[in-house]
Every structure is written in structure tokens, then in C-alpha cells.
Amino acid sequence: MNLANRQTGAVLIVSLLMLMVMTLIGVTAMQSNLLQEKMAGNFKDMNTAFQAAEAALRDGETTITSGISGLTGFDASCTNGLCDATSGFKPVWTDPANYGNGILYGTNTGATAIAEVSCQPKYWIEGFKSWPPGSPSWKVRYRITAVACGGSANTQATLQSVFSP
């Protein structure tokens, strides 16, 4: 009996199985790579929002040092982004309907708009009095809250700092 007549196609079946395994490995690697790209993009977007909020905090500090004295112009309704925190005020930035009351980045300082973000950052300045340890009297302090978007409007960062000029 001839060797050619006894072949049953086992090599073809083994080759097809190996090809299927290699295809599954390739598809899994592509899915993993796609997930990593999405995570890197989200990280970049969040970092952009964080940096924009940080810039808004610095803008708020400049606003305070260049013209705010005491609690003059502050009220409980946060008119023009100046909030009087001593009169039972509710944090306005917790309600997106009040975002219009915030101070737009660069309004008081002339800073240029941030190009990489989908919306320009806003901030609120809360004035309040506190009694610092070791101080003989009350001192006015300011809590600045900044909200900023990243490259997508769905990515937002909120930062706060307490500033004492």
C-alpha cells in the first residue's frame, strides 16, 4: 500500500487549529491595546481639566490680591462669583444651575483663554472670618473653588484652596 493513499488530512486539521489559536491571541492583544489607549486618553483629558482648574485657582488668588478688601461686595447669592460664607450660604458650585454666577477665568486678570479645554474654567471666591491660632483677632480668609473641563465637556475637575493674603 502506497503512503500517499493513507493520508487522512491530519496536518490540515492541526494547521487550522493553530491558525484559530493565533487569531484568538491576535484579537485579544488588539482589544487589550484598545483599552490601554482609552485609559491613556482619559488620563490625558483628566490631567488637562486638573491643570485648567489649577490655573483658575491661581487666577482667583490674583483677583484677591489685586483688589478685594475684606468682604466688600460679597453676598449670600454669590453675585459675580463673590460668596459671603458667613451668612448661612450654601455652596453654589454644587448646583450646575448656578455656574453662571462664577468668575470666568481671566475676567479680572486679563489671562488668555486656555486652548485645550472644551469650556473655560470658572471659580468662586468665598469670604469668611476665622480666628487663627495665636492671633488676637478675627482674620478674613478666602476659599477659592475652581471648576474646569478637559478636552471633553464630560470631564470635569473641581479644586479648592484657602487663601489668606
pLDDT in tens, 15-69: 999 999 999 999 998 988 899 999 999 999 999 999 999 999 999 999 999 988 8
- Output DSSP code: residue 75: B
What does the alpha-carbon distance between residue 121 and residue 82 come to, in Å, rounded to a whole number?
Answer: 16
Model confidence at 1: pLDDT above 60: no
pLDDT value for 122: 93
Q: Residues 126, 123, 63, 80: what is their CA dihedral angle, to the nearest 10 degrees? A: -70
pLDDT value for 99: 67
pLDDT in tens, 67-109: 888 888 888 777 788 888 776 656 666 666 666 788 999 999 9
Amino acid, single-letter form, for residue 116: E
pLDDT value for 9: 77
pLDDT value for 146: 94
> Which residues, 6 or more positions from 14, have their beta carbon under 8 angstroms from its beta carbon?
none
- Output DSSP code: residue 111: P
pLDDT value for 159: 94
Please give the grid coordinates belonging to residue 50.
486638573
pLDDT value for 148: 93
* Every domain of the chain and the residues it spans: 48-163
Q: How far is CA 128 from CA 36, 71, 89, 102, 161, in A?
A: 45, 8, 11, 18, 13
> Which residues, 6 or more positions from 52, have their beta carbon under 8 angstroms from its beta carbon?
105, 114, 116, 117, 120, 121, 148, 149, 150, 157
